[in-house]
Structure 1
Amino acid sequence: MNYKHHIVLSMVFVLALSGCDSKKTHGAKNSKEEKISGQAEEKERTPIDTLAYQQKLKALANGDTTGLWPNHLRSYPLDGAILPFKRIVAFYGNLYSKKMGILGEVPPKELWKKLNGEVKAWEKADSSTRVQPAIHYIAIVASGTPGKDGKFRTRMPEHQIDSALSIARMGDAIVFLDVQVALSDVKTEVPTLEKYLKMPQVHLGIDPEFSMKEGHRPGTKIGTMDATDVNFCSDYLTKLVKENNLPPKVLVVHRFTQGMLRNYKNIKLHPEVQVVVNMDGWGEPVLKRSTYKLYVYKEAVQFTGFKLFYKNDLKKAPHVMLTPQDLLKLKPQPIYIQYQ
């Protein structure tokens, strides 16, 4: 798998983003979003059906006998949890760039036609699991240039994030806001999205590939995050869920190398947050399966995801993109699917 090319393609946004102003705001406020962003009325939580939860996780383990999966004994979620009762199928990208993913490549109506096609394919492949469509938007983007503060990252203006939420509303989708911290860190960047993370339909993604803890420029090497970074995000989301009476949040952590996620055993789980480790590499099917086994299956956290690339997975003939039927053969079956 040519991860260098993966990084290069991810960085093409630099020219497209050169005119961004992170201080711009959308003039017209959506009153509905303001109401759901943190003023939910207090209500009594009903307990989750733990038996149904265990049975679903056992099914996702897909016959694994190693003891790694099902990994359900560490934490049970609050009521309203999406996973594992629904499979999330997400389209990924940035609205400023046609080369960072499908989300920026096609207009909204065409995008929804394609996303609905993927949803139907997954419903057909696994009729026992409902599908939750999602828009996974890169809200803080690692950059090839330092910017005014030298952090090599660009925060998307609010009107662009609002646009991603509007696209999601077209198909009753949830939203993930993805963070590439570059030379900054999650403690600084994630709270800048609090306005949105207080909304019940908005969740979080973090990308260790672009976390440059040793001070390298993004794109020159693959970055890393530690369990402490994941735990900060999980603790932060937990606090928002409790204070705003929200349903559990989903936290997606991208990974395709050993070094991208360190000390995974120290990752804390909360009833308020569901952690997905997402296999983020591209290449031929045998290599993608191997990456999943080495860095997602063997280092079990809570839930698993798998990324599919419409273009990069097909770079070398006769490579093909893995199908839902192919992914359902994995142990465990991924419950979060991302299309770039």
Structure 2
Amino acid sequence: MRQDHQPDQRGPILFLVLLAMIALLVVAWGAGQEEADGAPTTGAPSEPLGPSSPLFRPTGPPMVEIAPPEPSSEPSSSGAEPVESSGAEPVEEVAPEPPVELPGGGTRIFADNRFLVAYYGTGQTPAMGVLGETDPDTMDRRLHRAAAPFRRPGQPVRHVYELIVTIADASPGPDGDYSHDIPRSEVRRYIRAAHRNDALLLLDIQPGRSGFLETAQRWAWALRDPWVGLALDPEWRMRPHEVPGRTIGQVGAREVNRTSAWLARLTKDQGLPEKLFVLHQFRTDMIEDIDQIRQRANLAMVQHVDGFGTRGQKLATYHHVARPRQFAMGFKLFYDEDVRRMGPREVHAVRPKVRFVSFQ
């Protein structure tokens, strides 16, 4: 009986084994050529590839290319070092908000050679000055008529409402400080009027036996308005046992400096334009150590000379107390107390130069 012939399987098996060995050798050779980061080389340069290499291809989504900024010789306004791109999607830069401007434009009180003209007094009564004789809008029209003759070519006028918000009293009152605040609603009325009529508002304080700083801080809510400034009246700053109206008050440079530092810090922290900071004076002893009063970067500091009488008396007072190298100069005109009240031409002729005149 003849047996069936079985085909020889060894040939194909040896061929498959040979192919497997060749494949293993190829894989081993390829693995030895890979870089440490897993990106295979292609026979290109042996140095590591980075973003500057034309052969660099990052994995993941394609990068958004951000053009480098143009070189500039100007220093950074913030003083900070430039921040390098992290490779993330670019974030749109938000331009800083421009500073709030003052009425008439700009952020500095006396910019463009401006001349300030004010009406002085308190709300609800004409007893303390012309400002309170009428409603705010009627007062503003009168102020514009009074201020117009002070305008000169190249010297625009800026209008000011000087509102006494803390008033000295002849009696101690409930808190014993010989002063009282006018209602907040009255101050808000003048703030609204100032914004309607493009005017500055100047809060005048007569603190009695309180300090200027603690009194000013009660008005911080109003001083946060960009058009509201502060005036200190040392005539009404009483020492213990002194009573307003019976003696002329006084203040030391240290108290003025503490108050101006607080106001300058508030102005900076709130991002406000420069504020008026006015010191009223008509006798040298009203401000002790005046030469030690510090300048503040965010404040337009004014020494306002308030004497009344004849023209000769007013000028003598002015020349006696004026410190033009330290302050911008102010000058007061009294409708009732002055004898032959000085007009705009005479005020402009005064030296040292007057930058701010107020009517009482």
After TM superposition, the score normalised by the length of structure 2 is 0.69
* Counterpart secondary structure, 1:292: helix
Residue aligning to 1:311:
336
Tell me the equivalent position of 1:172: 198
**Corresponding residue for residue 338 of structure 1:** 358
- The answer on whether the counterparts of 1:42 and 1:245 sit within 8 Å (CA) in structure 2 is no
2:217 partner letter: P
Whole-angstrom distance in 2 between the partners of 1:270 and 1:42? 24
- TM score, norm. by length of structure 1: 0.73
The correspondence for 1:205, drawn from 208, 231, 237, is 231
Query: What one-letter code is carried by the residue in structure 1 that aligns with 2:335?
Result: Y
1:96 to 109, 112, 124: 124
The answer as to whether partners of 2:136 and 2:190 remain within 8 angstroms in 1 is no
CA contact (8 A) 1:175 1:203 kept: yes
Task: Say yes or no: does 1:185 pair with 2:205.
Answer: no
Deviation of 1:272 after TM superposition, in Å, equals 0.7
Of 316, 332, 344 in structure 2, the residue corresponding to residue 324 of structure 1 is 344
Structure number with the bigger relative contact order (C-alpha 8 A, sep ≥ 6) is 1
CA distance in structure 1 between the aligned counterparts of 2:356 and 2:266, rounded to whole angstroms: 23
Q: How many residues align?
A: 259
Is contact 1:204-1:251 (8 Å) kept?
yes
1:119 paired with 2:139, answer no
Q: Partner residue of 2:135?
A: 107
Question: Which secondary structure state, in structure 2, belongs to the residue aligned with residue 97 of structure 1?
Answer: coil
Q: SS at the partner of 1:259?
A: helix
Name structure 2 gaps, 5 residues minimum: 1-94, 100-105
Task: Give the equivalent residue in structure 1 for 2:182.
Answer: 156
SS at match of 1:139: strand
The root-mean-square deviation of aligned C-alpha atoms, in Å, is: 1.7
Larger radius of gyration: 2
- Unpaired segments ≥5 residues, structure 1: 1-40, 46-78, 314-318
Q: What is the SS of the residue equivalent to 1:281?
A: coil
Q: Which residue of 1 aligns with 2:108?
A: 81
User: Does the 8 Å CA contact 1:264/1:301 hold for their aligned counterparts?
Assistant: no
What displacement does 1:263 show?
Answer: 0.5
Match status 1:277 vs 2:303: yes
Q: Which amino acid aligns with 2:336?
A: K
Deviation at 1:169, TM superposition (A): 2.9
Structure 2 letter corresponding to 1:261: I
- Trace 1:214-233 onto structure 2 (pairs within 5 A): 214-233=240-259
Offset from partner CA, 1:79-131 (integer Å, 9 cap, x none) = 711125311111110113211000111233432222111221111xx222111
Q: Secondary structure at the match of 2:222?
A: helix
* Partner SS for 1:312: coil
Q: Which amino acid aligns with 2:121?
A: G
User: Which residue in the other structure is 1:74 paired with?
Assistant: none
Answer yes or no: is the 8 Å Cα contact 1:256–1:280 preserved in 2: yes
Q: Report how far residue 255 of structure 1 moved.
A: 0.2
